[in-house]
A and B are shown apart, each in its own frame.
Chain A
């Protein structure tokens, strides 16, 4: 029985991996029907600084924490049509383009190479691609080393969620898909895969999926309510102006973009709460198979109350932390209370942050309820029959 279950689990994992490949393939085949501007002659290629021939730089800011000035550099291009060539670049170092290089530094060069004009080279930025990937691999290794098999499985779950968001949700929204339906589909699918990856084919998984999906959907509902009372629309975002142009061309729906953002950002925290409560209640029942649903629910609520304290902090602090630079600017602009509290910026962040937090709070009773009754639905002792577990 157990080996059969293992086999099924293996097949599902293979199916998940294959679907990830399929989504990446789908993404690579997407053709953009609208471009905000034409960059067809621009190629961002890797290069290495072979020489800093001249520089005139000064230390600016408080305590000279950043550098401004000009560097005259030679960069050897390492890929593309110009591979092997060395180009001269005047590197202007400003606050907004703060890329100070030294000899041997790997960089990204913007090579503007139209057929009908002399090429024009500018220094775009440091080459961070390998570093980013190395950091990602280190992170996954950390997860796998400490989390062992579960760590590996949750990495696969995370990978699937990222694939679903980037390779499917984004192009679908871009091309005018229904933001609400697409977001819900993405959330439910990601939840299913993530929960499966965490706890395999088990009743717990099914219950976790139900709680998480219900919790995240409640985030969507609450957000809809909040955005209604705060009179928020797709046009309230900073990016609305640029998005509206895409919208004219592809039918992209701005409100869908907002909704998707709320759903995706709430998903993690909600899943955290749902799975934690699910796990706790599963253990409690394992230890005390005769416990009644009512008692289980009570325990779930008690566990959940402690979590509410930390989880609401998590979301609100994440919002505040991400906004510190913006808040400092707002202080410097002498923003008044009425101006700030009614600004699109605050209204959006409040709607997003509070909708997520409220969803976390709601997930506690949802999850406790689902688990309390779910675990006690089948009256077998200890081990539940495999067939009943099948999703």
Chain B
């Protein structure tokens, strides 16, 4: 028995191992695939961790006696009085060689003097480092450098500033300034290598404390190397976003230059050269989270329809190459709708957020754009339902997102849950932004634009405040009362069928937002988030109209919801609610998809294709009569109020549900109740005393009657309405004794003693009278 058990146990163990070994083998294989990705380049290292630096750490200004603040960075500066030269990592934590981090990575090897008096705050504001690099020949290409610093730094080559890190506030050599990060920060830069000449060259670095009570300081240069084939970075990540209307475009771009001003020069295209006469849009220039770059934002205005434009990006020293874009005709148009490219989410090419993952998704992104714009070259712009990148704080992923040249493609995006970081604000210059729908008070916002008379309202559903989204849409609609279609775009689909459809927040949003869209007569809602295509029936509040599952619907009473598939296939969700009551058409074949949307005044047609070309869905909303773009006022004549009913002043009522004082509809009456005139109330009344009823005649109760409207009341204060003041008569005499004389008989009414039924005797009357013969 025991033996049998042992044998069984051994067998079980062998089974486990048999399963485990192939698994381990498979894991190793996957890893080796990734390892082959690196490549080699020929570079010359000029600075590494063994480089010796002369340094000044006594709190004095090395150029104090010089009009040129930067004289200490020049080749001929005499640094023989400075400390060093010595190699190592320079720093101090509370005046000692302590750890600036938590795991021993940042323990300096060369102690810098942290305090001016050597023992206590204030700290030395700035530290100055110099090293000499000797070259055989003039350098070409670029210098790629990496330093670590705490709290801010500027790097110079032969007196020319080549990089600044948190350096905006360093206006003098002894300024305090920079980030107050706990551990040293990594600073990477690329500089023009032609600054380096044959012979001796000086590389100088200044490092500053953020404040006079800073507890630490750090400088180390891990590498600077000359890459002869490298190129200086140029402007990048050009995002041409939709302007307030079709005559405008907003633009954002990143520029690597140390420039404080920037602008866009743009003109109607005329040949291959840039026209001599052009318009200029001044840009704002702000240091970007993407280190070494400023992001610049501007608005191009006054654009004519159906015109080819050229533009170039200009800063203090540089003028970019020529970029182009085209405006389209007014009237009917089409655009591409897609969502969730989510660059960097791919886990088949490499782990999420890895370079391999980003590269794979960028390739798919490029493919989707090419397929869509090749098939629909007339698309006027692109709408994305959010999740442009997988990690909103990862600038590499934004670089991949913009790696297909988007400088000619107008687009409008919303923020998805993966985009929720300040980087989103830096990358996209949205029109008509509001204070509604901000995430954590700053990231993104609800915004709207009008394109060829179609209103696009973009909600930032990173804020779950339906109250704010509703207020935003009401304001946008108030400013655009007459549009052909009302379209809403946001990320967190409330009518999808995959993994996210049962999320608590989604169910809440569905209950809250859907009635608002119905109330505001929204035509179409475009969404993302669930990476599975879903087109709903026409929805009224939360109720689907299941007769609308065909390929078109005419004059629907409700809202159509479309959830885009994944635009890149970086990630797919499985269907979890395949029989959702609201879903008319769904698709999850794990192939990326996009929609072409064609809009005319009476038709809104959505056609959705997989990137392989397969048609997934086609649906058209038809209006038998287009929305009027002009005001269509009807005069409502003045009416006097009555005792009980409202009157009104004269006003014009437009079919856009608004009131205006004038027929041209220029002066809106925003408070609709202001046209009303209150009822006058009963001003005078006549008293009627009580009149009792008798057998034949009605009487009345005591009442007061309004002289104007004849309403009756039981009291003099006219507060108790008297619905019926009549006291009804009995309608007849009845009962009582019968009397007669020689000619007549009659009866005296039992109730009022009046005689009735008085008649002459007849031959056979039975009144008791006997005729004397």
A340 to chain B, nearest CB (A): 13
Which of A22-30, A118-126, A177-185 touches B? A118-126
Q: Which of A92, A228, A242 contacts B515 (CB 8 A)?
A: A92
Closest to A42 in B: B464
Which of A106-114, A211-219, A303-311 touches B? A106-114
Q: Which of A118, A229, A242, A333 contacts B467 (CB 8 A)?
A: A118
A35 within 8 A of B: yes
B734 to chain A, nearest CB (A): 51
Q: Are A112 and B19 neighbours in the complex by a CB distance under 8 Å? A: no
- The residues of A that contact B492 with a CB separation of less than 8 Å are 37
Contacts A37-B461, A37-B462, A245-B418 known; A116 to B435 CB distance under 8 Å? yes
Q: Are B417 and A37 neighbours in the complex by a CB distance under 8 Å? A: yes
Bound-state CA distance A116–B445 (Å) is 13
Contacts A92-B542, A229-B19 known; A38 to B353 CB distance under 8 Å? no
Q: Which of B439, B468, B571 contacts A114 (CB 8 A)?
A: B468
Write out, one digit per residue, whether chain A residues 236-253 have a CB within 8 A of any chain B CB (1) or not (0).
Answer: 001001101100110000
B505 within 8 A of A: yes
Q: Which of B463, B510, B516 contacts A38 (CB 8 A)?
A: B463
Q: Are B470 and A37 neighbours in the complex by a CB distance under 8 Å? A: no
Bound-state CA distance A163–B699 (Å) is 83
Q: Are A248 and B23 neighbours in the complex by a CB distance under 8 Å? A: no
Bound-state CA distance A113–B507 (Å) is 20
A36 within 8 A of B: yes
Q: Are B466 and A112 neighbours in the complex by a CB distance under 8 Å? A: yes
B391 within 8 A of A: yes
Q: Are B471 and A118 neighbours in the complex by a CB distance under 8 Å? A: yes
Bound-state CA distance A21–B418 (Å) is 37
B577 to chain A, nearest CB (A): 9
Bound-state CA distance A338–B201 (Å) is 68
Q: Are A112 and B23 neighbours in the complex by a CB distance under 8 Å? A: no
B585 within 8 A of A: no
Q: Are B347 and A235 neighbours in the complex by a CB distance under 8 Å? A: yes
Q: Are A70 and B541 neighbours in the complex by a CB distance under 8 Å? A: yes
B511 within 8 A of A: yes
Interface size class of A (residues with CB under 8 A): 35 or more
B692 within 8 A of A: no
Closest to B347 in A: A235
Closest to B391 in A: A248
Q: Are B440 and A38 neighbours in the complex by a CB distance under 8 Å? A: yes
Write out, one digit per residue, whether chain A residues 252-282 have a CB within 8 A of any chain B CB (1) or not (0).
Answer: 0000000000000000000000000000000
B486 within 8 A of A: no
- The residues of B that contact A145 with a CB separation of less than 8 Å are none
A314 within 8 A of B: no
Contacts A37-B439, A90-B515, A238-B499 known; A228 to B23 CB distance under 8 Å? yes
- The residues of B that contact A235 with a CB separation of less than 8 Å are 347, 352
- The residues of A that contact B26 with a CB separation of less than 8 Å are 231
B438 within 8 A of A: yes
Contacts A117-B467, A241-B499 known; A229 to B418 CB distance under 8 Å? no
Contacts A70-B541, A94-B542, A97-B507 known; A41 to B467 CB distance under 8 Å? yes
A288 within 8 A of B: no
Q: Are A38 and B439 neighbours in the complex by a CB distance under 8 Å? A: yes
Q: Are B465 and A41 neighbours in the complex by a CB distance under 8 Å? A: yes
B650 within 8 A of A: no
Q: Are B352 and A244 neighbours in the complex by a CB distance under 8 Å? A: yes
Q: Number of contacting residues on B, CB 8 A?
A: 50
Q: Are B512 and A120 neighbours in the complex by a CB distance under 8 Å? A: yes
Q: Which of A37, A122, A244 contacts B512 (CB 8 A)?
A: A122
- The residues of A that contact B347 with a CB separation of less than 8 Å are 235
A96 within 8 A of B: yes
Bound-state CA distance A118–B462 (Å) is 19
Bound-state CA distance A120–B437 (Å) is 14
- The residues of B that contact A120 with a CB separation of less than 8 Å are 465-467, 470, 512, 516
Q: Are A37 and B515 neighbours in the complex by a CB distance under 8 Å? A: no
Contacts A42-B464, A120-B466, A122-B512 known; A231 to B16 CB distance under 8 Å? no
A225 within 8 A of B: yes
* Docked complex: B91-148 residues within 8 A CB-CB of A: none
A3 within 8 A of B: no
Q: Are A96 and B507 neighbours in the complex by a CB distance under 8 Å? A: yes
Scoring A95, A119, A333 by chain B CB atoms within 10 A of each residue's CB, the highest score goes to A333
A26 to chain B, nearest CB (A): 20
- The residues of B that contact A131 with a CB separation of less than 8 Å are none
Q: Are A225 and B16 neighbours in the complex by a CB distance under 8 Å? A: yes
- The residues of B that contact A41 with a CB separation of less than 8 Å are 463, 465, 467-468
Q: Are A117 and B471 neighbours in the complex by a CB distance under 8 Å? A: yes
B34 to chain A, nearest CB (A): 16
- The residues of B that contact A116 with a CB separation of less than 8 Å are 435-436, 468, 471
Bound-state CA distance A245–B439 (Å) is 15
B20 within 8 A of A: yes
Bound-state CA distance A94–B495 (Å) is 13
* Docked complex: B2-52 residues within 8 A CB-CB of A: 16, 19-20, 23, 26-27
- The residues of B that contact A96 with a CB separation of less than 8 Å are 502, 507, 510
- The residues of B that contact A38 with a CB separation of less than 8 Å are 438-441, 462-465
- The residues of B that contact A40 with a CB separation of less than 8 Å are 440-441
Bound-state CA distance A360–B20 (Å) is 23
B578 within 8 A of A: yes
A288 to chain B, nearest CB (A): 26
Q: Are A229 and B20 neighbours in the complex by a CB distance under 8 Å? A: yes
Bound-state CA distance A249–B516 (Å) is 33
- The residues of B that contact A70 with a CB separation of less than 8 Å are 541
Bound-state CA distance A231–B471 (Å) is 49
B508 within 8 A of A: yes
Bound-state CA distance A185–B391 (Å) is 32
Bound-state CA distance A333–B440 (Å) is 40
Q: Are B511 and A97 neighbours in the complex by a CB distance under 8 Å? A: yes
* Docked complex: A42-99 residues within 8 A CB-CB of B: 42, 70, 90, 92, 94-97
B160 to chain A, nearest CB (A): 38
B328 within 8 A of A: no
- The residues of A that contact B514 with a CB separation of less than 8 Å are 92
Q: Are B418 and A114 neighbours in the complex by a CB distance under 8 Å? A: no
* Docked complex: B445-488 residues within 8 A CB-CB of A: 461-468, 470-472
Q: Are B471 and A248 neighbours in the complex by a CB distance under 8 Å? A: no
Scoring B465, B470, B472 by chain A CB atoms within 10 A of each residue's CB, the highest score goes to B465
- The residues of A that contact B393 with a CB separation of less than 8 Å are 248-249
A39 within 8 A of B: yes
Closest to B519 in A: A90
B417 to chain A, nearest CB (A): 6
Bound-state CA distance A384–B149 (Å) is 63
Q: Are B352 and A114 neighbours in the complex by a CB distance under 8 Å? A: no
Write out, one digit per residue, whether chain B residues 409-431 have a CB within 8 A of any chain A CB (1) or not (0).
Answer: 00000000110100000000000
B12 to chain A, nearest CB (A): 11
Bound-state CA distance A116–B440 (Å) is 15
Bound-state CA distance A238–B541 (Å) is 30
Q: Which of B463, B507, B542 contacts A37 (CB 8 A)?
A: B463
- The residues of A that contact B466 with a CB separation of less than 8 Å are 112, 120, 122
Write 24 A-B pairs (CB below 8 A) sorted by A numbering: A37-B492, A37-B505, A38-B465, A40-B440, A40-B441, A41-B465, A41-B467, A70-B541, A92-B511, A95-B581, A96-B502, A110-B508, A113-B467, A116-B471, A117-B467, A118-B470, A119-B467, A120-B512, A120-B516, A122-B511, A225-B16, A225-B20, A245-B417, A248-B353
- 8 closest cross-chain pairs (CB), A and B: A117-B471, A120-B467, A112-B467, A41-B465, A38-B463, A38-B439, A229-B19, A117-B467
Given contacts A37-B420, A42-B464, 4 further A-B contacts (CB under 8 A): A38-B462, A110-B508, A245-B418, A248-B353
Q: Which residues of B contact A (CB under 8 A)?
A: 16, 19-20, 23, 26-27, 347, 352-353, 391, 393, 417-418, 420, 435-436, 438-441, 461-468, 470-472, 492, 499, 502-503, 505, 507-508, 510-512, 514-516, 541-542, 571, 573, 578, 581
Q: Which residues of A contact B (CB under 8 A)?
A: 35-42, 70, 90, 92, 94-97, 110, 112-114, 116-120, 122, 124, 225, 228-229, 231, 235, 238, 241-242, 244-245, 248-249, 333
